[in-house]
Structure 1
């Protein structure tokens, strides 16, 4: 089955817009909406409990369905969201609500949490920094939690969750003896930690720019401020909705999250609030820097205009005197006087000095 691909804006800093092709589509239709970031779908399973661990890649999704009925914890990770046929098989094989899988295939969906009879659905944006371009990349992450299985949907293959896999492989007691709810917490915790980490990197640049701003104001400075503002706003588009989702998640009364693990989800609230407040602080810093830049430039411009004004005012009487003696009349009383030239210079110098003394007393410069 060929899945139609809906083009999305190429500029990552643009805010989202509804695509014309999406108008009129049924909310639960399995249609991929976004930019395809993976050539093919990768399926990886980690099945574990306190005594055993099995990790493998599978080619057919049907291999994972029996694990949903076992007593062990199964983590099914799916990289690639464009295969509608695969999503339809998951819908039928694990009996998930079709609306959930439709939302999974919409990479621009707003972060949300939804509680169903046999599952819990969580969606938010996952943020990473490209080591080559040093730019923030964002992809949609969806988690489906059932009693024995956690399904994570990612747009492309990556290693952001590798620390969690290592904890499972190293037989860490907490994660190996807990259920899917604690496993979901560890994944969400990594996503939020990446928010804070990337905010910290951007924050160092903003703080460094603030130090340089006081000694050097030029076009490059204002370009950097605007670039950091765009990057921060781009990050805030993911952090703010994620905070709302985490707060709603903590309020849920669901059997899929054990009471003993609720403390960890409250920790998520603290971390996401920290990330949100940090983004607000850096936004205020950038606004202050922008004000400082414009204030400094205005002050410099005022100094220049003050100097030019004083310079012009001084030369007005001098030009007046030179204009009188530069006329073409034959009869000028002082024209043939022996010391006229020197007297004119003396008068002009006295006027200049008098005006400078007057301006100095008025503290105009």
Structure 2
């Protein structure tokens, strides 16, 4: 069985947004067997980390094989198994056997990017989200799919890449017994990680706020073709963010209404707060999208005004030289009987007429304020 997929960009930057299609999805060939795992050639080999904890103790270890999880899953403590990398079909299949995962669950985990969603199975929940993280130089952001499998006493998380997530604060709260995470179950851990994913959108949006503010100054003071490309890139990147946060809102809303028994009523209250955060992200995102669209209109208006001012300057110059050209053309004709040709002061009189006409027109345009407006535009 073969799989066809469009090339996709997991790193969204201003330069790449103009070249890459942010809406590329993989798709299987018609007739493909459901649940078949297709591992990309450049996928990172998986690394398995486990944090097992209760209110009194916590343990953090790196596992060599998926089967090492079994001893921890048989206890009443909460086990967080974090898998980073999707580069081994064998390890993923063995993880599925250890946790009793449906083949379609593994297919959703491996095939990225997926639309954020929640699916309920007999003894576990599948939660798919898209995690974003700003780049250090504020030039775009990383997109990475994170899959959560929530069971009675465990949480399995699967990420695309190792050592790049927004969960470090949650790990510290577990290991150093901060907050309520060690006093609660796996459902609260799932909430904490989802909340961290949503909070990761705010730094990204803050960067876009700064970029849009800089573009506003550039559009007003010195618009150019590069400015148009920057505006277009920002619009595309914001559209990509919207694509991931909008379905996440629906997924969290479905979690607050889940009746699987894996999520307690206390955690549902926290998930409602998480839902409010997604609404805030969407509000900020829509505001920035409107600002970016407005920048496009301002840019086009500024370029149109600039062109109008240029045409006005050219019109003024042409208007001044047209009568001078007429006078020079009349006395440049090669007729023999022209009285002024033999007049001693004819040359100087012709120059005086042209200078007088030009000065009169310049005075008229100055009184109208045309020279002042044109000069201010040229100075900008």
TM-score when scaled to structure 2?
0.87
Task: Work out whether 1:150 is the aligned partner of 2:137.
Answer: no
Structure 2 counterpart of 1:341: 347
Cα deviation for residue 35 of structure 1 reads 6.5
Cα deviation for residue 21 of structure 1 reads 5.4
Q: 1:199 to 1:237 in 2, by over 3 A?
A: same
Q: 1:272 to 1:173 in 2, by over 3 A?
A: closer
Task: Work out whether 1:57 is the aligned partner of 2:70.
Answer: no
Cα deviation for residue 50 of structure 1 reads 0.8
- Please give the alpha-carbon distance, in whole angstroms, between the structure 1 residues aligned to 2:95 and 2:2: 19
Q: 1:204 to 1:18 in 2, by over 3 A?
A: closer
- Please give the alpha-carbon distance, in whole angstroms, between the structure 1 residues aligned to 2:288 and 2:43: 31
Count of equivalent residues: 361
Task: Work out whether 1:78 is the aligned partner of 2:83.
Answer: yes
Structure 2 counterpart of 1:283: 289
Task: Work out whether 1:113 is the aligned partner of 2:118.
Answer: yes
Structure 2 counterpart of 1:245: 251
Structure 1 counterpart of 2:237: 231
Which of 166, 175, 182 is residue 176 of structure 1 equivalent to?
182
The unaligned stretches of length 5 or more in structure 1 are none
Structure 1 counterpart of 2:36: 29
- Please give the alpha-carbon distance, in whole angstroms, between the structure 2 residues aligned to 1:7 and 1:57: 33
Structure 2 counterpart of 1:161: 167
RMSD: 2.5
The unaligned stretches of length 5 or more in structure 2 are 11-16, 372-380
- Please give the alpha-carbon distance, in whole angstroms, between the structure 2 residues aligned to 1:27 and 1:342: 96
Confirm or deny: 8 A CA contact 1:82 1:105 kept in the other structure: no
TM-score when scaled to structure 1?
0.90
Q: Answer with 267-276 or 337-346: which moved more.
A: 337-346
Which of 316, 327, 337 is residue 322 of structure 2 equivalent to?
316
- Please give the alpha-carbon distance, in whole angstroms, between the structure 2 residues aligned to 1:256 and 1:93: 19
Confirm or deny: 8 A CA contact 1:225 1:290 kept in the other structure: yes
SS in 2 for 1:334: helix
Which of 86, 96, 100 is residue 101 of structure 2 equivalent to?
96
Cα deviation for residue 61 of structure 1 reads 0.8
Confirm or deny: 8 A CA contact 2:151 2:262 kept in the other structure: yes
Q: 1:135 to 1:65 in 2, by over 3 A?
A: same
Structure 1 counterpart of 2:377: none
